[in-house]
Structure 1
């Protein structure tokens, strides 16, 4: 503390020291030690009242007043028998207000000293009453420009004192509210030039919006040296100077700028003491720490404005340094894609505080912050072209945004080159073309073979069977004239067998003829065959057979088996059903075909009657189609066949 006469007072442990300018040293002025006590009287705060009396608060030995100019010393301590005495001997903070009172924050309650009566008024936390002090352990006190006294507690948040009602309004940390106070441990309070209230805590800096009661928080991640605030004071330039457990910070509230200072900048150390701050009338700031104190005029603290050049100092591939020789490009094979770079900002004031950031274009989309590390490693990079960019700052955070760069090319293996891919693509395309042509040739050959077989069967075998039938009929006619009964019998058999063979051959020729591959040809044959047989027997019929079906083509075997099943079902109705009506239905669902043939004939008990060759053939051919045939029949109630198979 510097009093109004310009005398500098410094408390160290339990000794009050005074600076003697003529001697150029501090002189031991007074000891506050309470020998043998648990709390021996460490000096926590020094203040001066409007009457120029010096007050010294100690932790464990109460409060001292040094009367000016008489030099009389008064000692105030807690007396359990005196209600108007100090509430606790563990004094943490002192605040002379603009009404002449001295506020004393202790480890057990808040006190207000009235110099006219020499008595203390007490304010305590009363559970259940939100208008009392939120916590009895007081860390810091502050009176704003409007005369309002603010009380920072060690675990109860921040309290605003209403002098008219002598009540408190409390601001606490709420984990569920991002706009609440960042911590209930309040360590420092001050205002900036615009009158904004700032509160330091054990976990961040806070700014109060007085209209809404909401808080904006600032943390180490935003730029503070640490989130643990120890003391604060403003300057004439609108900045806040914040001492922490990791150095000193100059914070610009308007631009949200941070400038952190460390031991290299002249600090007594990184660790400062809670509440140990004083701003003199001439604007000089004092901050106390565990290794002494710092004093400075904020306007004289200037940053290093030098923009340092950035250079790449080393390039290593597979751990071996490569000569750069002023080149800004390098080419690596795909086997050498493990490399590292080193770089430097050419500012030597405090080189260990120079900061860096890099970006590898072709891999990174934004800058990667390195802090003070000045090297980076890359491995397993895919073949391609990259641009390594690096920028850096001097020790005061002035950045060279342009930085420097290096072009890096990783060549691919031959099998990933464009010429190899074009060659491979050409070869594959050639093979596909040859395969396609071969398949087309095979299909055409099969088509020609099927046509030739169908033609030969029709011309040769069909003609021969017709001739046999013709000649047998001729001989039969002659035998009838000659009345030869045995010859007649055998000739009738020859004629019948040749007719059946001719019909079977016709079916085979139809099945293998490629002209019958389309569904419209197949279904037309089915309609014609069914209608001819039903008409020949006078059976009324309904044919629900479409013109075509949206199905894949049937191969030769499928077409033949399907035809023979259909033919067998229709023939059975004509020969055995003795019916009046018949219905034939062909439908499809997806790629599944359904055939239903039903009549109203005499039917039979399908569970008792043994199966003939025709029925067995239907079942067997349905299985060859990969489908299923179902027979339903009942005596006197007709017969129903259903065939389903996938195409």
Structure 2
């Protein structure tokens, strides 16, 4: 919907308040200027129906319009047509009356006689079968409905008629049979109804306004005690009384003043005291403005004012057409002809520069100043406290003039450039602003020049304002500067000001500084400026006024004095069209915080009803939430801040945008909160909130994530298992190859070597029998015979081992004992062997590798230990574990890491362990060394059955934990 484009028009009404006798006596009529801001909405602003019969405001802040095409809701920016359908599905048509009850419900009456109660999304209706013209809530919460010549009393709870009354007579015969909403005219009722009589209009007012009762549609009393009268063809009349005045004062607002139509149906005053006018051709709003404006319509000689000056409480305005004295009732002409510049002097003197020179105006008399020179282009003037007049002529330069003497030209290096502004203070100092941006101070004796190195902000000086305490405010092209008697301090847009180009700066009441910009007027606190001067991160807060506050023309700078401040604090300024004034003491802040509502939410451009606890579909990429703030004083200045809990860490900065957009929100629960501030910065007390949930897609759910993690883990396990099986298969193939080699070696050993050894043994036995006992070689032959028999026994053992496919626990122990038996000495007697767990048959090749590793460990233990040696063999489902522990002095860390030079026992043990994918751990301390060899079950055992169950693993671990040491 297109944003409304309000047409704001000043209504200047000067009405004769004197009686006919006074007029006939030839007295000048008394004038009073009353100014309102009038805004209208029509079809081009989005209003669906321009015939507005009734206006009402519900407790939630929305404005409701009863029109020829149904009911319309208005938030100050957008119009929304509300579908009102009866139970039979018939459209309501013309809504002629509206009323808001204290419980927040809206009552709508139609021309067809349908009365509807709307409370949120709930709707109830009753048919009265008569055109409804007025709805009012009673003190007892019952609803009085006027329909034709009857009054129906309705119970909101039951929607039943509790009482019906008949009008006995109407005070205005022939009046509108369907009077509008605001306040009916006085009527008489027959029956028991206690209908409260409407307002009556004074006959004298009717006579002066040339109205009759049948021309009045409704009367509305406002919060100021005035009355507003809606007429059939004469627009709106405003009647108000002032103390001390015999006759009430009234104004008329009509089409010529900007009203959309002179045919007025309804009047309504909202909670912010705006007056709403429903006419035959649109909706209108009337309100008081903060600014008053004067133009040629109120007596100015020209709308292009060049200079202002104040003498006492009087304001003088100079233009190319002449000089005006501005008063509360208008503007009075004093001089005709071009006024180049103005300056207020001492003792109520006014200096006016004209093409003829310098004119002095005092006590209503004018005279030409005797300067002694010809000065036709005086652009700036100032009189110091010593009585000297300083003025700058564009053609001749800077002069100083003492009345009664000849003006003397000032020719000093400091003032060699053109002077744009001159200002004097009460202490005798005179300030000069130069076109080059420099500021020159004359203290009565010397001239001092300030440049950018003195912290002056620079740029063309537009105005200089000097206070009685000697402080100076300078408005220039690049910002605002302040001189405290010692140094300059500057501010610009980066400090929070509305802009850099400051047209003027004056200090008003309340220690506030007023700044003029070409886009409006700003008011800032001096203490905030002082804080910003020391804290660069602090932004100066300011109250900003523009056309929404009655400043219908932009502040403008034609001459060198664009603003004056009167002793009562009122500020007058020049604008692009006439003058404007504001009294800071009369500024009334809007005390009503705006209601804020969330009106719409869309997901991927699909509109969804904004209800609490709503859910949005999965994979919603873009969410747009629309909201509104209900403040009708100036809806354009309503600002918002919002946040999305579970996403935003802080509030988004205030702006006038009425929607928030979020993209690619994660699935989850969210809460959107928004607050609004009215045109004067007053924030709503509570945020409007909307809870919603973004549903996840199937792959965004927790169970899907858990399933993916489980699948990943399972894949890793399968890959690891596959890798282990592959390695095991390769090792098994290698062992099978080695088993084949062992069979061939066993065959060769049996068929060749053992046969030869047996032959040698037989020959030795023969030789031993033939050799006499006393022969010297007899012992040698006996020893050789023993060795041959031992070799034969070992060969048969080796043959048995090579032929074996499994390696039992007995084989393992026998091999270990046999390996250490032939070592010198009897240290092998200190070895203690133990086993635990259920025995598993080892693979033959694996057993040989295990024996070799353990034999090497035993030999090292026997060599370096002098105590007991424990050998433990443990069979578990997880694998085979061999532990050799001695009570020696331990092994140094260097030997453990690198081994003994020239010896490869430890290295060989690690290589063999790696070859059978076993884990070899050697731990050494001062109390001995422990060697642990762990061979996985799938590699060590012949009949390994694959994976081991969890229960079996726990059982095996528990048995190992509880075993006795």
What band does the TM-score fall into relative to the shorter chain? 0.5 to 0.7
Q: Which residue of 1 aligns with 2:390?
A: 103
User: Separation in 2 of the partners of 1:149 and 1:16?
Assistant: 28
Q: Which residue of 1 aligns with 2:465?
A: 190
* Of 450, 454, 458, the match for 1:170: 450
Q: Which residue of 2 aligns with 1:225?
A: 498
Deviation string 1:575-627 (CA, Å, 9 cap, x unpaired) is xxxxxxxxxxxxxxxxxxxxxxxxxxxxxxxxxxxxxxxxxxxxxxxxxxxxx
User: Separation in 1 of the partners of 2:433 and 2:548?
Assistant: 32
Q: Which residue of 2 aligns with 1:397?
A: 681
Are the counterparts in 2 of residues 247 and 272 from structure 1 also a CA contact under 8 Å? no
User: Separation in 1 of the partners of 2:483 and 2:453?
Assistant: 13
Q: Does 1:317 align with 2:603?
A: yes
1:68 Cα deviation from its structure 2 partner: 3.8
Q: Which residue of 2 aligns with 1:413?
A: 697
Q: Which range is displaced more, 408-417 or 327-336?
A: 327-336
Q: Which residue of 1 aligns with 2:48?
A: none
* Of 56, 59, 72, the match for 2:367: 72
User: Separation in 2 of the partners of 1:399 and 1:195?
Assistant: 39
1:473 Cα deviation from its structure 2 partner: 8.2
Q: Which residue of 1 aligns with 2:543?
A: 259
User: Separation in 2 of the partners of 1:4 and 1:156?
Assistant: 30
| Distance of aligned partners of 1:400 and 1:314 in 2 relative to their CA distance in 1, 3 Å threshold | same
Q: Classify the secondary structure of the residue corresponding to 1:461.
A: helix
User: Separation in 2 of the partners of 1:465 and 1:550?
Assistant: 27
1:320 Cα deviation from its structure 2 partner: 3.2
Are the counterparts in 2 of residues 62 and 91 from structure 1 also a CA contact under 8 Å? no
Q: Which residue of 2 aligns with 1:10?
A: 317
Q: Which residue of 2 aligns with 1:302?
A: 588
Q: Which residue of 1 aligns with 2:419?
A: 138
1:345 Cα deviation from its structure 2 partner: 1.4
User: Separation in 2 of the partners of 1:67 and 1:341?
Assistant: 64
Deviation string 1:34-57 (CA, Å, 9 cap, x unpaired) is xxxxxxxxx453113225442123
* Of 138, 145, 149, the match for 2:430: 149
Q: Classify the secondary structure of the residue corresponding to 2:653.
A: strand
Q: Which range is displaced more, 347-356 or 381-390?
A: 381-390
Q: Does 1:368 align with 2:652?
A: yes
Q: Classify the secondary structure of the residue corresponding to 1:415.
A: helix
* Of 347, 354, 357, the match for 2:631: 347
User: Separation in 2 of the partners of 1:367 and 1:123?
Assistant: 60
User: Separation in 1 of the partners of 2:510 and 2:334?
Assistant: 36
Are the counterparts in 1 of residues 425 and 466 from structure 2 also a CA contact under 8 Å? yes
1:406 Cα deviation from its structure 2 partner: 1.5
Are the counterparts in 2 of residues 208 and 216 from structure 1 also a CA contact under 8 Å? no
1:437 Cα deviation from its structure 2 partner: 4.3
User: Separation in 2 of the partners of 1:425 and 1:389?
Assistant: 36
- Equivalent pairs counted in the alignment come to 488
Q: Which residue of 1 aligns with 2:406?
A: 118
Q: Which range is displaced more, 188-197 or 372-381?
A: 188-197
Deviation string 1:128-175 (CA, Å, 9 cap, x unpaired) is xxxx24x623232333465433322232332333432x221313279x
1:415 Cα deviation from its structure 2 partner: 0.9
User: Separation in 1 of the partners of 2:909 and 2:325?
Assistant: 108
| Distance of aligned partners of 1:445 and 1:318 in 2 relative to their CA distance in 1, 3 Å threshold | closer
Are the counterparts in 2 of residues 172 and 184 from structure 1 also a CA contact under 8 Å? no
Q: Which residue of 1 aligns with 2:523?
A: 250
* Of 181, 204, 207, the match for 2:456: 181
Structure 2: give runs of 5+ residues left out of the alignment. 1-307, 529-539, 763-797, 803-844, 861-899, 918-965
Q: Which residue of 2 aligns with 1:161?
A: 442
* Of 335, 339, 350, the match for 1:29: 335
User: Separation in 1 of the partners of 2:903 and 2:466?
Assistant: 96
Are the counterparts in 1 of residues 378 and 391 from structure 2 also a CA contact under 8 Å? yes
1:343 Cα deviation from its structure 2 partner: 1.5
Deviation string 1:213-250 (CA, Å, 9 cap, x unpaired) is 3524132x544333211112112211111111111111
Are the counterparts in 2 of residues 191 and 234 from structure 1 also a CA contact under 8 Å? no
Are the counterparts in 2 of residues 224 and 260 from structure 1 also a CA contact under 8 Å? no
Q: Which residue of 2 aligns with 1:45?
A: 341
Are the counterparts in 1 of residues 426 and 468 from structure 2 also a CA contact under 8 Å? no
Q: Classify the secondary structure of the residue corresponding to 1:290.
A: coil
Are the counterparts in 2 of residues 111 and 120 from structure 1 also a CA contact under 8 Å? yes
Q: Which residue of 1 aligns with 2:17?
A: none
User: Separation in 1 of the partners of 2:750 and 2:438?
Assistant: 116
* Equivalences for residues 208-607 of structure 1 within 5 A: 208=483, 210-211=485-486, 213-219=487-493, 222-255=495-528, 256-273=540-557, 275-324=561-610, 327-369=611-653, 371-400=655-684, 402-440=686-724, 443=727, 450=734, 454=738, 457-458=741-742, 460-462=744-746, 464-465=748-749, 467-469=751-753, 471=755, 513=849, 544=902
* Of 380, 383, 390, the match for 1:93: 380
Structure 1: give runs of 5+ residues left out of the alignment. 33-42, 80-85, 127-131, 175-179, 479-501, 525-541, 560-647
1:452 Cα deviation from its structure 2 partner: 6.0
1:196 Cα deviation from its structure 2 partner: 4.8
User: Separation in 1 of the partners of 2:650 and 2:393?
Assistant: 51
| Distance of aligned partners of 1:186 and 1:361 in 2 relative to their CA distance in 1, 3 Å threshold | farther
* Of 482, 492, 516, the match for 1:207: 482
User: Separation in 1 of the partners of 2:408 and 2:613?
Assistant: 77
1:294 Cα deviation from its structure 2 partner: 1.3
1:372 Cα deviation from its structure 2 partner: 2.2
Are the counterparts in 2 of residues 193 and 238 from structure 1 also a CA contact under 8 Å? no
1:402 Cα deviation from its structure 2 partner: 3.4
User: Separation in 1 of the partners of 2:579 and 2:731?
Assistant: 105
Which one has more relative contact order, counting CA pairs under 8 Å at least 6 apart?
Answer: 2
Are the counterparts in 2 of residues 242 and 249 from structure 1 also a CA contact under 8 Å? yes
Deviation string 1:346-397 (CA, Å, 9 cap, x unpaired) is 1111112212222223333333335322123333333233322222111222
Q: Which residue of 1 aligns with 2:74?
A: none
User: Separation in 2 of the partners of 1:396 and 1:545?
Assistant: 95
1:260 Cα deviation from its structure 2 partner: 0.6
Note the aligned Cα RMSD (angstroms).
4.7
Q: Which residue of 1 aligns with 2:352?
A: 56
1:307 Cα deviation from its structure 2 partner: 0.9
User: Separation in 2 of the partners of 1:46 and 1:284?
Assistant: 19
| Distance of aligned partners of 1:20 and 1:162 in 2 relative to their CA distance in 1, 3 Å threshold | closer
Are the counterparts in 1 of residues 322 and 334 from structure 2 also a CA contact under 8 Å? yes
User: Separation in 2 of the partners of 1:435 and 1:23?
Assistant: 98
Q: Which residue of 1 aligns with 2:67?
A: none
Q: TM-score, normalised by structure 1?
A: 0.63
User: Separation in 2 of the partners of 1:450 and 1:22?
Assistant: 117
User: Separation in 2 of the partners of 1:8 and 1:140?
Assistant: 20
